[in-house]
Amino acid sequence: MTVTVYHNPRCSTSRTVLAAVRDSGVEPTVVKYLETPPDEATLRRLIDDAGLTPRTAVRRREKLYAELGLADADDETVLRAMLEHPILIERPFVVSDAGTVLARPAATVSRVL
């Protein structure tokens, strides 16, 4: 099985998910998405494949969310903000042969392992 984790090492949930993937016996590809942000096609695919929308995949607790006025923005505006400011992308997305999840809470990673 191949697994990719879109990871932020400063996030405890992301670290927990990465450990769970490794504990399952799989060494994942780790994408530090703040250093290597996904392009538009990849971000759209992650969101769509996880059954989400940009509004449900954005980090609402991030200060920048409020500063940019995203609470009342449409999905396309939210997606553009996520592309311009990857810190707004909720984490961690996990992609495997079994599917894609936004692993929040961390236990949801089991769906794709």
Per the residue annotation, which of 1, 3, 11, 21 is the catalytic one? Answer: 11
Count of beta carbons in the 10 Å neighbourhood of residue 74: 11
Residue 104 identity (one-letter amino acid): R
C-alpha dihedral sign at 15, 31, 61, 50: negative
Query: Whole-angstrom distance between the N-terminal and C-terminal Cα of the chain?
Result: 8
Does the active-site annotation cover 11? yes
> How far is residue 27's CA from residue 34's CA, in Å, rounded to a whole number?
21
Q: Which residues are catalytic?
A: 11
